[in-house]
Each structure stands twice: as C-alpha cells, then as structure tokens.
Amino acid sequence: MSGISAWFTKNPVAANLLALLVIVGGVFSLMGLRIEGFPKIPSSYISIDIAYPQSSSEQVDSGITQKVEKFLEGLAGVKKISSYSSEGAAKILVQKETGYNMIRLLNDVKTKVEAIDNFPDKSSKPVISVDEFKDFVLIVQVYGDVSEQTLQQSARFLEKELQSDPKISKIESFGKKSREMRIELDAQMLKAYKISIGQVAAIVARDNAEQGYGLLKNDTNRIIIRSDVKIEHYDQLMNLPIITSSDGAKIYLKDVARVIEDYEDSDTKALYQNQNSVGIVLYSSNKGHMLEVSKAAYKVVENLKKQVPDEIHIDIWADFSTYMKDRLILLQSNAWQGLLIVFAILAVFLNFKLAFWVAMGIPFSIAGVLALMGESFLNYSLNDITTFGMIIVLGILVDDAVVVGESIFEERKKNLDRIEGTIKGVHKVAVATIFGVLTTIAAFYPLMLIKNDFGKILASFSVVVCVALIFSLVESKLVLPAHLASISITPEKPENIFLKGFYKVQESASNVLVFLNQQVYTPLLVATLKHRYSVLIIFISLAMAGGWLLKMNYVRTVFFPEIPGDVISVNVTMESGGSSKMTYENADAIDAAAAAINRELMEKHGTNEPPIRKIMTAVTGSQGIEIYAELQPQAMRVVNTLSLLKMWRSRTSNLEGVQTIEFRGNAETGGGFVLKAESHNIVSLRQAIKKLKAGLKEMQGVHDLRDDFKSSEPELRLNLKNEARHLGVTPEDLASQIGMAYGGFEIDKFQKDNDEIKLRIIYKKDQRKYIHQLLETRISLADGSLIPLTQVANIESRFSSGFIHRINGKRVAEVEAAIDKRIVSASEVFDALKQKVIPAIERTFPDVKILAGGELEQEGEVKGGLVKALIMIMLLIYALLAVPLKSYWKPVVIMSVIPFGFTGAVVGHLIAGVPLSILSFFGMLALSGIIVNDSLVMLTRFNDIMAQGKTVNKALTTAGSSRFRAIFLTTATTVCGLMPLLFETSEQAQYLIPAVVSLAYGELFATFITLLLVPLLMNIAYDIREVFASNQSAQYVC
C-alpha cells in the first residue's frame, strides 16, 4: 500500500476527488435508505393456513393438521414443523434448515400438501406462502359518535384510499365488520308450519340461482341470453313464497322470519378515546420505507378529512416513524457532539490543522458506510442495529489516523521536504496501523457467520463496523497524507488575542502531556518492570475481581436489555364459557384504571398533559381484549414507561373471569420468555404446566403468567342414533341442520354499494340461548316430515380443548411470562427452575419434557454461534499479529491482555448500574480491537528499538514513552467521543448504553493495560526465554 499512498500524497487532486466521491455517494445513498425499527431478515418459515368452518380444535387437528404433518415428515430442508389447531382453522409453520433454498422448499411443501386428497369437504383450499416479516408503522383510527353504518362506510372508504397509494402495501384492520343480509327464522313458526330450516335454506338458494348465460347467433345477428334471479333486496326476500298449499294459499318468508340487513352480529368492538371506532394498521414491507409509508398515510388522511361527514374523526397515532426519526436525531446529535469533542481534544493536543484533517476521517468513513448500504450494494436499512454500529465505531475511527498524523509530523521535523517527510511518516507506521485495523475487523467479522435469525440481525452490526474501519484505513493512508503534506509544521506567530490564547492552551496541554509522560508514566513503567512479578499479581487480582463481581451477581447478566417503548399494550384472555358482558366490563375496568392513573399523575406533577395521551380498546370476541396506549413524547413524560406499566398492572390484578392478562411496554427480542412442555399425554401435560406456572409465580420480577392451554369450553356433542339411520337421517343431515340453526349458514354472496354482502340464514337470537331450545329443535327427514332432535341423536355433555399446539408431531404447551429485567433475567429464572421445579415435574411426569423457548432458545443458539465466532476471532487476531511482529509468541503476549480489558468493562457496568448483555459484548469486541491495535503499535516500535541493539528494559521504556502520546489520544478521543451517549438519559438511547459502558470504561482500564501490562508481560516473556536459553546452554556444556 505504501506505493499507492505515496502516489496519492503526490497527487492531492486525486485524494480530494476520492474524498468527494465517497461523501457525495454517502449523501445520495442516505436520501434513499429505508428507515425501520429492527432490521428485517429473510424469513425462515413457510406458513400453511387452512380454514375449517364450524369445527372444533380437535376436529381441525385430526382432520387437517395431523394429515399435513404426516405428509411433510422427512421432507428435505425442514428443521421444525409447528402446528396450531384452533376452532375453525389450522396453521402450520414449516421452518427451513439454515442455508437451504427457500423457493425450493416452498415448492416441495406445496407439492406435498396439494397431494392430500382426504381433507374434510368443508375445509378451504390450503394457502401456502412464505411467512414474511412486516414492520409496524402507524395506526389510522376512524371514530365518532355516529351510526354503525356511517362508521363502517367511512372506514372502508379510507381503507380503499390507503390501499390505492403505491407506497402503502400492507394493511390490517380491527373493528371492521362485514355486511350481511341475515334471515332470522322463528323456530316456533317453523314448527307450526311443519317446515325445517334446511328446507327454507334450500328454497332461498333455489330462487337465488347463479347467473345463466346463452347465445343466439345467425348470419346477421348475435344476441346474448342471460337469466339472473339473484335476490339482492329486502322486499324480494320478505315476499319469497316458501309454502304453497293445495288451494293456492302461500306462506311467505316474512311469515316465519325477519330479514335484517346490517353488519355481522359479533362481539367484536373497538373503542378509541371512548368512542366507537375502526382501526387500520399500516405496515412496511420488506422493501418498504417507513417514513414514506407514514408520509403517504398523512397525505391520504388529510385529503379524506374533507370528504367524510363532520361527525367522523380520523386520527393517526402510534406513528413509529416519528419515534424512529426522534431516535435517529438523538443519535445524530450525540454523534456530532462526540465529533466536536474529538476534534477539540485533537486540536488542543495536536496541530490545529492536523486535528481538523484527522477528525474529518469520521464523516469520510461514515459516508463510505452509507454509500455501501444502498440497494445496489449491501441493501441495508437505517435501523437500530446499523445506527448502533455507527455510534460504537465512532470513537475508534480516528485511532489509526492519530498514529499516522503523529508519525508524519515527527518525520517532517527531520525531513524538510514536505512530500518525502509525509511519505516516510506514513511508511513508518503503515504495517502497524494496517494490521491494527485488520485485527479490529477480525474481532467483528466472525459474527457475520452466526446463522440463526437473531445472528443475522447482529451480522448487520458487524458489517457496518467492518466497512467503517476499512474506509478509515483508506482515509488514513490515501486521503489524510495528501492533506497533511500541505500543512506547515512551523509554528506561526499568532496575530490576534483568540489565537494567542488558543496557542497558550495548546502549549499548556503539551506541557501537561510531557510532564505526565516523563515525570509520571516513565518512572511508573520503570518501577513496574523492576517489580514486574508483583505488579502482575496485582493485575491478575483485578481481573479476578471482575469475575467475582459477575459470580456474586453484583453485575447482573441478561441476554438482551430491556428497551422501553412509547406504546403500552395490554392483552387479556377471558376464561372459556364466560359471557361477552363480563368481557366488556373488564375492558371498561382497564380503561378506567388508565384514566385514574392519568388524573393522579397530572395532579401530582402539575401538568395538563395526561401521561397516557391516547388509548384504543378492542374487544376481539367474547374471550379477548386488546388495548394499546400511546404515551406522551419522552420530553414531556413525567414518569417512565416501565413505572407507568407497573402502576397500571397493579390496578388490574383482580379482574373477574380473566384467564391471563399481559402488559407489555418494551420491545421483546427472540419471542420473550417462553418455556415449552412436550408430551404425548395431554393429562400429564396439563398438570405439568400448572406446576411450572406455580413455580414461576413465586419468583420476583416474573409477571403476567399465561399458557396456550385455553380453558376447556363446555360442549354438547350430538351423536346420531342407530335407529335414526333407518329413517334416512345421516350424520351430515344432522350436522347441517343443527349448524344452520345455531351457527348460521351462508347461502350466497353478492355485491352492493362496493361491499360484498353475505346472505345468511339462522335462528332468531333469542332462540339460541338455552339448552331446552336445542332439545325442542325439529330435524327434517328425507320425506319432508319433522322429528324431534332427541329421537335422532344422543346428546353428550363434555368439555373440549380450545387450542392444540404440536411441534414435530408432539403435543406441546407453552408458558409465557413478562420478565422485569431490572430485577431478574430470563436465564436466571430458567436456572432457578432447573434447580428444583423442573426436576420435580419430570420425576412426577416422566413423559413430560421441559424445554427453553423464545428468548432462551435464541440465547442458546446465539451463544453456540458466539463460541465458534470467538475461537475464529482468536485465530484471526493471532495470525494478523504474528505477521507484522514476525514472531509466534509475541502475539500471545498481546492477546493475553484482552481479558484484563474486560475487567474494566465489568466494573463500568457496576458503576453505571446496567446489566451485561449481548450489546455489552459488542462494546467489548471494539475494546479488544483497540487494545490489540495500541499494543501492536507499541510492540512494533519496541522491535525497531531492539533492532538498534538496546536492552529489553531500555527498549520497552523507550517504546512506551514514545507511544504514550498516541495511546493517550486514542483513549481520550474514544472515551470523550462516547461521553454524550454515556450520560444520555433518554429512554430511546438506553439500548446503546451497555456497549458504550463496555467501550468507555474498558478503554480507560485498557490504557493502563497497554502502557504497563504489555511491557510487563514482554519483560517476563524475555525472562522466560533467558531461563530456557541458559538451561539449554547448561545442558550443552554438560
């Protein structure tokens, strides 16, 4: 590279054009980058969805799910098959093996499933697709004190307009209802007229024939023939004859039924700010741009507000793009603050122009990263992880530039030729700085090789860091020398008071640094080398102290830190068999608790802004409640997210009829805390889950326990009597007629006013409430006569399972919980369970196996990948150190000090009061790169001095003293550059704090490691060499 560097030094135009090209490329790429929360990864799952209307979960499991599982057994490329059988639907997820081609597996799965020819007749055609990732953007809420029809029509109009915008591709809605024309039959009138619901349905279907088509065609004319007798109007239905007597008298549908044209009769309801509403959720697709989706939604809503009735309100809330913009602005602000601090430090301790051009390496490197993040290259988005990588690497981007700049100025003092002096200065430290950067890259590169889904997310962090380091190397070797060659190193006489004052500051800072070097560090280093074994024991004791802090849990560990959000969600599951009235009462109680908290906090803090500023409550049937509450912007928030969540949870702990309630105010990673129990014995599984939940309930920091064993629902099962078969009644007849009467039957669909309207038939609502009404039902025989239900069927009362979950064919139940990571980590909870609870369960139920799921499962997979990555990191760093040091054992000396640096990181977490996490590990990787980089520069200098024939002690002292300034500056720029983030109190930046703590505190400790421990270990290594050499000489003499 020295030849290329020399060419660029002599051709500053080329260097400037290169810098301009990178910066312009970065700016243009930035304008087109996708912005999202968490990075999207290619899906590893294929989803198979099959509807089976009016069937129980057991019928779905036996009729659909188990058949699909059997056909997919042994299919190449399949890692795991998870199935979910619920009332009326089956969902099967097929997870592919890492590295297997998704398109090939998708085609194989389609071939297998489409070959199944014995699905139930009423089941739908399987929908097979890749289970794509979608990123939440915002919610558009339509609400107002208006009729159901006005609300639903306005919501449909809005949804249609949103879907017509090309930038909005994925939409889901809640609170939206389907239109239907419902024929509600009077069972007593049917009995009086001796006609069954099935007969009425057949008559309506007969008079609602599909459109017929024909053609009259001759040599001169062509005439189309159509026959269309579709019933689409109320009057047509009401006046439809259903019985005609022998004397011509007619009984019309209106005589036995009422026809209602309305929205579907369901328990679903959505309230927004205590008013009826429909919510429309917008997502961004894999290639979507969150900000563009948000802008498009605001534009559509603004246009529609002028077209809807005045009583209708449209509100956009929970806009995640706003949170992302605020977070990026926050990070950008901290980055600029860090850059200015770095520049100020360099300006004080170095030449002002040198400081400027060294600091310019940061925007150059970041621009290079942004340029390659575009779709044409890496195709990365600007998200939490990639931004995190840029922030972490910020403090180490100038390290090699500082070393190069110092070397150039030192050489320029000896060589009056600016160009030659610059070229020699670069060449002098070229090997050390190049391999120093490469070792830092080697510390991050293996993380790209972790293959599981979470590992793929982390890989984007590593790529950003590695690319930034490569660009910093290019800048320090090609662009920086060309600029420094034009700088005069001769001190200029200050012309004004400001410059005079600044030069005095520079002179004072330089004197302080000289004093520290000559009067403090050098004597300390001499003493350290003299008492090297005693000092080594002190360092080892410090390292052991760090391990002790972890062992005694003074510094806690979590896999992923808690990242508070701006929206609190509440999910409630009611006990099966409960009434919808109780569900609505509980929804109101949770809303009332939120309102009470708002009043108390507003009064306590003297504010007019409620902490919970918007709230949406959706009752999703008789057994489910979903609530989403948007909090005030963080700058206006009087209480943090998790504290508010805790207050809300404490006030809703005694709701009647609730099976599970879950509060969530932070982003869960890896699926949250999940434990899985496997068994073929459903009774053992149910008992094991109860004991597992009981064990979890006793632990501190564990809340909102829930499992996917839905409470059994009371069920009446009708079994056809043998004698009924002699009457011509089949099981299908029985199921069809009872299903029509009490579940409804869809006769037809037709379009009206841009809506699809279902034509359904069912008994009146007040005749579908009690068991005695069922017992009085009449069943139609083949000859048209009616017979009581009790004469054709036995009625069995029992409880049915509401949900069946399998993994690879085994019945599975999952227990989930919310973990307060400020108190306990997921792994700590699992370890505690493994001590007593799980062994006791497995002893009592030998057929039950308890396994980790969710975050715990991800943690296990990532840890396995990290172990392999760490081994590769060590091997790569060793190789990259051995080459420039030209030694097999000197790299071992440098690498042996890395664990000592981690001690500083652990102590930093203790001081900052944050737990160690996977994000802390990233900071430690960056720290290890800095330690290795600084140590390599020092030992390269040591080798040069040893080559001059100096003694080991003299060479170590001289090398340490000569590199003191550079090491001090790399420490100062790294630590001070991270200070804005280190002291950031915003919740949005908390996910960065663990890595910043690792890097900042670890770097402070690493300074002492590099300046003292590395020379100390080198001295001891030479002692050992001398011992071996003397032993070999003695053996030779003997």
List pLDDT tens digits, range 724-773. Answer: 888 888 888 888 889 899 988 888 887 777 778 888 999 998 998 888 88
pLDDT over 60 at 1034, yes or no: no
Rounded CA Rg of the chain: 37
| DSSP H or E stretch at residue 874 | helix 854-885
What percent of the chain has a predicted confidence (pLDDT) above 90? 31
Query: Is 278 in contact with 151 (CB distance < 8 Å)?
Result: yes
How far apart CA 407 and CA 403 sit, in angstroms, is 6
Q: How many CB atoms lie within 10 A of CB 121?
A: 5
Which residue type, as a one-letter code, is found at position 308?
A: V
Looking at the DSSP bridge assignments, the partners of residue 660 are 573
| Of the candidates 629, 525, 495, the residue with the CA atom closest to the CA atom of residue 570 | 629
List pLDDT tens digits, range 884-912. Answer: 888 898 898 888 888 888 888 999 999 98
How far apart CA 88 and CA 523 sit, in angstroms, is 81
**Cβ contacts of 631 within 8 Å, gap of 6 or more:** 566, 567, 568, 611, 612, 613, 637, 641, 644
pLDDT class of 1035 with cuts at 50, 70, 90 = low
pLDDT at 667: 63
pLDDT over 50 at 806, yes or no: yes
Give the tokens for residue 831. Answer: 């370890």
514-519's contacts with Cβ under 8 Å and 24+ in sequence apart are 516/964, 516/968, 517/961, 517/964, 517/965, 518/961
Sign of the dihedral defined by the CA atoms of residues 907, 908, 914, 917, in that order: negative
pLDDT over 90 at 704, yes or no: no
594-597's contacts with Cβ under 8 Å and 24+ in sequence apart are 594/629, 594/648, 596/651, 597/644, 597/647, 597/648, 597/651
pLDDT at 1028: 79
pLDDT over 90 at 515, yes or no: yes
What angle do helix axes 399-414 and 418-444 make, rounded to 10 degrees? 160
How far apart CA 1018 and CA 1021 sit, in angstroms, is 5
How far apart CA 358 and CA 343 sit, in angstroms, is 8
Give the tokens for residue 398. Answer: 């100038």
pLDDT over 60 at 695, yes or no: yes
404-412's contacts with Cβ under 8 Å and 24+ in sequence apart are 404/429, 404/433, 404/476, 404/477, 404/480, 404/481, 405/350, 405/354, 405/357, 405/358, 405/480, 405/484, 406/350, 406/965, 406/966, 406/969, 408/481, 408/484, 409/350, 409/351, 409/354, 409/484, 409/489, 412/489
Mean pLDDT of 715-722: 86
pLDDT at 801: 67
Mean pLDDT of 19-40: 86
Give the chain's domains with CATH numbers. Answer: 179-208+226-265+714-800 (3.30.2090.10), 327-489 (1.20.1640.10), 529-558+886-1038 (1.20.1640.10)
Look-up: residue for tokens 């739908």?
A: 124
Q: How many CB atoms lie within 10 A of CB 490?
A: 7
How far apart CA 562 and CA 914 sit, in angstroms, is 10
| Of the candidates 247, 358, 298, 345, the residue with the CA atom closest to the CA atom of residue 140 | 298
Task: Tell me the pLDDT of the chain averaged across its residues.
Answer: 86
Looking at the DSSP bridge assignments, the partners of residue 557 are 916
What is the CA angle 197-203-206, rounded to 5? 140
Mean pLDDT of 1000-1020: 89
pLDDT over 70 at 239, yes or no: yes
pLDDT at 1038: 47
List pLDDT tens digits, range 320-373. Answer: 888 777 777 776 777 788 778 888 888 888 778 888 888 888 899 999 999 999
Q: How many CB atoms lie within 10 A of CB 141?
A: 25
| Of the candidates 776, 857, 894, 732, the residue with the CA atom closest to the CA atom of residue 54 | 732
What are the DSSP calls for 22-73, one per residue? Answer: HHHHHHHHHHH--B-SSPP----EEEEEEE-TT--HHHHIIIIIHHHHHHHT
Look-up: residue for tokens 């108190």?
A: 823
pLDDT over 90 at 133, yes or no: no
pLDDT class of 978 with cuts at 50, 70, 90 = confident
Lowest-confidence region among 135-144, 348-357, 691-700 = 348-357
pLDDT class of 401 with cuts at 50, 70, 90 = confident
How far apart CA 343 and CA 40 sit, in angstroms, is 35
pLDDT at 23: 94
pLDDT at 987: 65
How far apart CA 396 and CA 972 sit, in angstroms, is 11
Mean pLDDT of 205-212: 70
Give the tokens for residue 225. Answer: 């023939």
pLDDT class of 492 with cuts at 50, 70, 90 = low
- The beta-strand segments (E) located in 669-792 are 673-679, 702-707, 713-720, 745-752, 755-763, 778-780, 786-788
Please state, in angstroms and as integers, the Cα–Cα distance from residue 92 to each residue in 51, 354, 382, 487, 966, following that order. 12, 62, 33, 68, 59
pLDDT at 494: 65
Query: Is 297 in contact with 168 (CB distance < 8 Å)?
Result: yes
Looking at the DSSP bridge assignments, the partners of residue 674 are 816, 853
Q: What DSSP state is assigned to residue 378?
A: T
pLDDT over 70 at 386, yes or no: yes
Query: Using CB atoms within 10 A of its CB, is residue 489 exposed (0-12), middle (13-18) or buried (19+)?
Result: middle
How far apart CA 197 and CA 253 sit, in angstroms, is 11
| pTM, entire model | 0.79
494 φ, ψ (degrees, to nearest 5): -60, 140
pLDDT at 69: 94
Please state, in angstroms and as integers, the Cα–Cα distance from residue 738 to each residue in 183, 192, 577, following that order. 16, 19, 20
Calculate the CA 208 to chain-centre distance. 50
136 φ, ψ (degrees, to nearest 5): -60, 135
Query: Is 462 in contact with 444 (CB distance < 8 Å)?
Result: yes
- The beta-strand segments (E) located in 635-744 are 658-666, 673-679, 702-707, 713-720
Lowest-confidence region among 56-65, 600-609, 659-668, 932-941 = 659-668
Which residue type, as a one-letter code, is found at position 905?
A: A
The helix, strand and coil proportions of the chain, stated in percent and rounded to the nearest 5, come to 55, 20, 25
